[in-house]
Structure 1
Amino acid sequence: MNNTQLNSFGGNILVIDDTPDNLRVLSASLMGRGYQVRCVKNGAMALITAKKAPPDLILLDIKMPEMDGYEVCEKLKADVHTREIPVIFLSALDDVFDKVKAFQVGGVDYITKPFQIEEIVVRIQHQLALRAAKSKIEQLNAELEQKVQQRTAQLEEVIGKLHQEIAKHKQTQQKLLQQSLHDALTGLPNRTLLMEHLQKALQRSQRNKNYLFALLFIDLDRFKIINDSWGHAVGDGLLIAVSRILKGCTREADTVARLSGDEFAILLEDLKDFQDAIAVAERLLDKLISPIHLEERKLFAGASIGIVFGATNYQNGTELLRDADIAMYRAKALGKGRCAVFDREMYAQTLHLSQIETDLRYALDRQEFLLYYQPIVSLATGKVTGFEALIRWQHPEKGLIYPGDFIAIAEETGLIVPIGEWVLREACQQLCIWQQKLPPASSMYISVNLSSRQIKQFDFVDKLAKILSDTGLDGQNLRLELTETMLMDRGEKTIELLSGIKAQKIQLSIDDFGTGYSCLSYLHRFPIDALKIDRSFVSSIDAQGNNCEIVKTIITLAHSLGIKAIAEGVETSYQLAQLRNLGCDEAQGYFFSQPVNCHLAEALLPKYN
């Protein structure tokens, strides 16, 4: 323990000595070491000073006139205000008798004169440390005693309530069990309890082949819209109302459970026929498509229901719930507001899609994507004015996969963003290569389809600028294709986005025009360069020139806005001739060329140019 630590126990010292030199030496030495020192020359003054402002320690000389040190110490120890102050005697008397007497009257230490100041300091430090330790022990003992008293009182209270607590214990256990197996909001069984009931149903079906059961997986179609529009309180109220509807459409023996969010499940037991399960599902759909009255609101929830029939090939409830979930998603894919019965083909398709998603996550890193190019031809000159870049996936096991088999999954998972960025960079790079090799390519453009997720990226415009900078392509040689739905989805924000793109001289076209949400009211405000006529309108043109009305209207609209009209899906000469007659500016389709790799696309240029 160092000096600093010992000094921290206290530092107010009273020195009592009738010799001025001793007082001066002790005072200077101790104050130099950080102690506060008071000095008195006689016993009477010492008693008054110690009582008025008790010091942490007293250094007391024995031989003094009128009242010696022994008497002073006895009086200090007799006073309740000063009895705990440690007293160290300082004396020239070195006889054992004197030392014994010093300790008998209450002294804690004895230092013989002539003294060494270092010895005094060390002994002071030790006594102060002992006093601090004693004080701490007394404090701890007092606290312990208080705690013991408190604890004793608490124990007495606990003992008094013990019988009452024992009576409540079973009730609490029952409540906890209820909470652990039931949904807090609706009071319905939760997933855990449903799984227990499913397992029992499976075991029963394995023992009794005549026992039939089915599982319904229910997902509300419009819950998210209602919850986001009206708030969580209304959303919770809707879930409670739906739970009552489900209970009202089932029997007491059936299990209606809430799985999570807006997902519910119903275990139908002891069915006479599996058609009974379908009948229950249809009854539920009728109820849920009707308005649900919640306070002053009419809410339309709607639902999609997946149905799986109990069978002995199932090993556990998890497999049943999985297949019911798959069937529910099939119902949603078919248009919502309906039910679908699970079959093995659904499971195989789900596994396939799951594998596609997994492989898709590695495809970019493994450089499995490639671009095909379809020429876009001027109907006035017959020359190639540009190419549309179309992605393909060269899967190591499945071979060439077309975008229709993976783009939807990429959109759903968000992978479309890095994939789309790769397509843009690769397409721009390829056109630059052609421009360096082939003079006719200098005026051509490359057309790239965008996804809704891409344009919602906050830094999309900055990424475009970087791609143009990195590849060296002039912005006017790039054309981006968006759908009507994408443009209308963001309203005014779309105009701001398009302005940022046009600032880089990039061309813009609306793809599949006429098939999405109408944007006629906004069209004149969008800085668009071309409308692409959807192939469905072009394919309806026959050899006699019939069914041209929509195509003609789109071409007229484009020209009235001062922009180009481009036809997609041109496959026959009479379609081409009719498009020329109608004044269509450009066209693409199998009549000119199917999408081809970069080498074959490059070989097409001399043919048309």
Structure 2
Amino acid sequence: MSVDPARETPVAAAQARPALGLSTRFALLLAAISLALVATVCLLWYQQGRGADAVIRHGSESLHQLAFSSLQRRGQDQVAQSAAALAAPLAAGDRAAIGRILGSVRRQTDVVYVYVFDAEGRIVHDGAGDASVGAPMDDPFAFQAIASPEPVVQWSDEVMDVAGPIRGDGGRLGGLRVGYGLERIAAQQAEAQAALGERLQDLSRRQMHWQVVFVLGAVAATLLLSFLLERWFVRPIRRLADAAREIEAGRFDVPGLLDGRDSRRRDEIGDLTRAFGRMSESVARHDRDIRSMAYSDALTGLPNRLALRELLDARLREQLDDGGQLALLFVDLDDFKRINDTLGHDAGDEVLGELAERLYVCVAEVGGESAALARFGGDEFIALVSGADMRQRAALLAESVIAALQQPFQVLGQQVVLGASVGITLAPQDATGAGVLLKNGDVAMYQAKLAGKHCYRFYSRAMDQAVGRRMQMESDLRGAWERGELSLDYQPIYQLADGHIVGAEALLRWKHPEHGMIPPSVFIDVAEQSGLIDLLGRAVIARACEDAARWVGADDDEEAPFIAVNVSARQLRSGDLPEVVAAALADSGLPPGRLHVELTETTILGDEIQAGALLARLRGTGVRVWLDDFGTGFSGLSHLRRVPVDGVKIDRSFVTDVLRDPDDLALTSAIIAMAHSLGITVVAEGVESEGQHDILRERGCDLAQGFWLARPMSAEAMRQLCRAGLRGYDAEPRLDTGSY
């Protein structure tokens, strides 16, 4: 029977190909190591020879420099001393005394010539037979020596010429010139170089001897190691490979594996052999465990996505065949990312574990024994309920789930409150296929989030249209700024102490050509999820700086109002916020101190290290940093100390009930006191009544904004308000610009 090569398995193909065994590979490896050792020794020999040549060369150069430096110092000292001794005889014209002094110099072995010459360069005495007396010195070196305060030197190949001035009481009398021969220095240098070469050659021969011994020893050790590796490792591994092939074929009871000599070894080979002997039972047990793991979630113990899909297909077949109904509930946690970002993923896993237990209890109580719960992924869960009157039972289960998840969780000593958005779809009313049902449940869950979260929605055909509208909105939002559909309004910010306007917050508005005004809560969410917020954020910062640059008070000496611009988490994560702000300030000419950047608590606490570094860079340029919606996240005094901010804005949810709820009043007062203790300014937003204004001012709040003070207005209206120079809103009528 022939075998089709194209259908041959990779394992069979690998077994059919000739391969190098471990013994052959070890032999090749050891041969390569031996060759590398020999090559290394040869390289050492070569480098040693080059090193010896370099030592001789550098030593010769050093000896040369040392000898010539010593001769130069000796010549300069001798000329200086002799010139001092010749001053009196030369001034008196005592040739005999001059001859005696020059004779002592001339008797030195390396002195070639010696001359005494007068101030005009004529030779007075040559220390010998006076044959050259009266002859002029025909080179400029003599006159250079007369003019120099110290002896000077010039060199040639054979002579070092040293000359120095002879001074008397009446000034310079002439000079002394001595020539030193260099033959003796060259001979000494050659002798020393030859001795150094002999020493180095002798040292090289001894090193070469020991290197040869080392190479021979390494080769012998390599051969011994090859033999030991073959005996201790290669042969036992070959036997283990044979046993592994038996186990692969399903024959887990390999004869002689546990009672052979390898199993009695007390080393790693023995451990491996004994492990192979236990493999039959282990493989069977692990096969069962792997199948269990493949269909269950490791964190919650619930069925996972794979098990859910198989269960959903089976339930659909069963219910549809019997004419029954099935409800699928798509449960998604609201703002679960806050826990991972602020408390860590371990805390998030702890919350998911407790949450799964609560969900399981709800599903079992409301759905009955046939109900099923699975973790779809991340913070998403799927519940399946079957039977009669599914719409009412599904609604009851959704309400029970939402109520159960709204109960506080205790995590790391803190209370964490979560919510859930639930999407419900029914079969066969909405769909009969598992994939379509899951899609419908996801769409319904998303509509529940758009409805304000913490609620449930049943799927309807209209929801598909809503998804289409959202996609259309994203398409329309692209280019809306360039088309002039997006604009900025500004809500003034007042100082509570005297009612003086100190700044304004930039608010983005979208006037759609067909649908009119689109609420920011709608299109900002679309911009965040689509990534358009980066482009819009850059444009808003640039336009706000341009508008604020034209705001000046009625009194030119008065400080102009600042502009506050909101920055999203996506803009902060991009990492280029300081550059964007710097470009906007440079183009508009707005001083950095008049720009306030506002970020929410959760934006900063998502990554305190990166946020702190970026905010520090911004504040270093003079830009102020404000923390918006303060009090709604997991922030505290420790976070305020780690993240550099200049001010906090109390969330409007606390300001709204500050007159009715003692807890909100206490929390607001605590925020003000805490911020002031850190030198941080406090702004209250959402001030919509005189009572709110008065109690905030009484509690020491610094700034405030809200409809009771002034509504959002256009850039031109804001400029006029600044020019009007209103110093107290209590004394002026409310400004209503008709803004939305």
Normalization by structure 1: what TM-score? 0.53
Q: Alignment partner of 1:443: what SS?
A: coil
Query: Is 2:468 aligned against 1:355?
Result: no
Query: Is 2:518 aligned against 1:405?
Result: no
What amino acid does structure 2 have at the position aligned with 1:416?
Answer: I
Q: Alignment partner of 2:574: what SS?
A: coil
- What is the aligned counterpart of 1:472 among 564, 574, 589? 589
Per-residue CA distance 1:211-253 (angstroms, 9 max, x = gap): 5344454669989979x969xxxxxxxxxx9xx99x9999999
| Aligned CA-pair RMSD | 5.5
Query: Is 2:545 aligned against 1:428?
Result: yes
Superposition deviation, residue 431 in structure 1? 1.1
Per-residue CA distance 1:185-220 (angstroms, 9 max, x = gap): 679879998998899899979xx7xx5344454669
Inter-CA distance 582–304: structure 2 relative to 1 (3 Å threshold)? closer
- What is the aligned counterpart of 2:325 among 206, 212, 230? 212
Inter-CA distance 288–591: structure 2 relative to 1 (3 Å threshold)? closer
- What is the aligned counterpart of 1:538 among 655, 675, 686? 655
CA distance in 2, matches of 1:362, 1:516: 34
Superposition deviation, residue 560 in structure 1? 2.5
Superposition deviation, residue 268 in structure 1? 6.7
Q: Matches of residues 65-84 of structure 1 in structure 2 within 5 Å?
A: none
CA distance in 2, matches of 1:583, 1:272: 58
- What is the aligned counterpart of 2:606 among 483, 489, 502? 489
Query: Is 2:637 aligned against 1:520?
Result: yes
Q: Matches of residues 302-321 of structure 1 in structure 2 within 5 Å?
A: 306-311=423-428, 320-321=437-438
Correspondence for 2:673: 556
What amino acid does structure 2 have at the position aligned with 1:494?
Answer: A
Q: Matches of residues 107-126 of structure 1 in structure 2 within 5 Å?
A: none
Inter-CA distance 286–592: structure 2 relative to 1 (3 Å threshold)? closer
Query: Is 2:700 aligned against 1:583?
Result: yes
Inter-CA distance 303–201: structure 2 relative to 1 (3 Å threshold)? farther
Q: Is the 8 A contact 2:552 2:722 kept in 1?
A: no
Correspondence for 2:68: none
Superposition deviation, residue 448 in structure 1? 0.8
Q: Is the 8 A contact 1:201 1:213 kept in 2?
A: no
In structure 1, runs of 5+ residues without a counterpart are 1-182, 231-240, 290-301
Moved more, 266-275 or 407-416: 266-275
Q: Matches of residues 62-141 of structure 1 in structure 2 within 5 Å?
A: none
What amino acid does structure 1 have at the position aligned with 2:645?
Answer: I
What amino acid does structure 1 have at the position aligned with 2:519?
Answer: Y
Q: Is the 8 A contact 2:510 2:517 kept in 1?
A: yes
Inter-CA distance 490–255: structure 2 relative to 1 (3 Å threshold)? closer
Query: Is 2:563 aligned against 1:450?
Result: no
Inter-CA distance 506–303: structure 2 relative to 1 (3 Å threshold)? closer
Per-residue CA distance 1:125-153 (angstroms, 9 max, x = gap): xxxxxxxxxxxxxxxxxxxxxxxxxxxxx
CA distance in 1, matches of 2:628, 2:434: 47
Inter-CA distance 212–454: structure 2 relative to 1 (3 Å threshold)? same
Correspondence for 2:497: 380
Superposition deviation, residue 548 in structure 1? 4.4
CA distance in 2, matches of 1:568, 1:303: 28
Inter-CA distance 403–316: structure 2 relative to 1 (3 Å threshold)? same
Q: What percentage of residue pairs aligned between the two structures are identical?
A: 36
Correspondence for 2:533: 416
Matched length: 411
Superposition deviation, residue 477 in structure 1? 1.0
Query: Is 2:626 aligned against 1:509?
Result: yes
Inter-CA distance 351–563: structure 2 relative to 1 (3 Å threshold)? same
Q: Is the 8 A contact 1:431 1:441 kept in 2?
A: no
CA distance in 1, matches of 2:538, 2:643: 23
Q: Is the 8 A contact 1:511 1:532 kept in 2?
A: yes
CA distance in 2, matches of 1:422, 1:487: 22
Inter-CA distance 199–521: structure 2 relative to 1 (3 Å threshold)? closer
Query: Is 2:686 aligned against 1:569?
Result: yes
Per-residue CA distance 1:279-337 (angstroms, 9 max, x = gap): 88899999999xxxxxxxxxxxx997643123557697765443222234456779999
CA distance in 1, matches of 2:469, 2:541: 28
Inter-CA distance 601–440: structure 2 relative to 1 (3 Å threshold)? farther
CA distance in 2, matches of 1:248, 1:554: 44
What amino acid does structure 2 have at the position aligned with 1:602?
Answer: R
Q: Alignment partner of 1:466: what SS?
A: helix
Q: Is the 8 A contact 2:537 2:567 kept in 1?
A: yes
What amino acid does structure 1 have at the position aligned with 2:576?
Answer: D
Moved more, 468-477 or 249-258: 249-258
Q: Is the 8 A contact 2:421 2:448 kept in 1?
A: yes
CA distance in 2, matches of 1:282, 1:580: 42
Q: Is the 8 A contact 1:314 1:320 kept in 2?
A: yes
CA distance in 2, matches of 1:443, 1:404: 30
Q: Is the 8 A contact 1:484 1:519 kept in 2?
A: no
In structure 2, runs of 5+ residues without a counterpart are 1-292, 297-302, 347-356, 407-418, 727-740
Moved more, 427-436 or 271-280: 271-280
Q: Alignment partner of 1:518: what SS?
A: coil
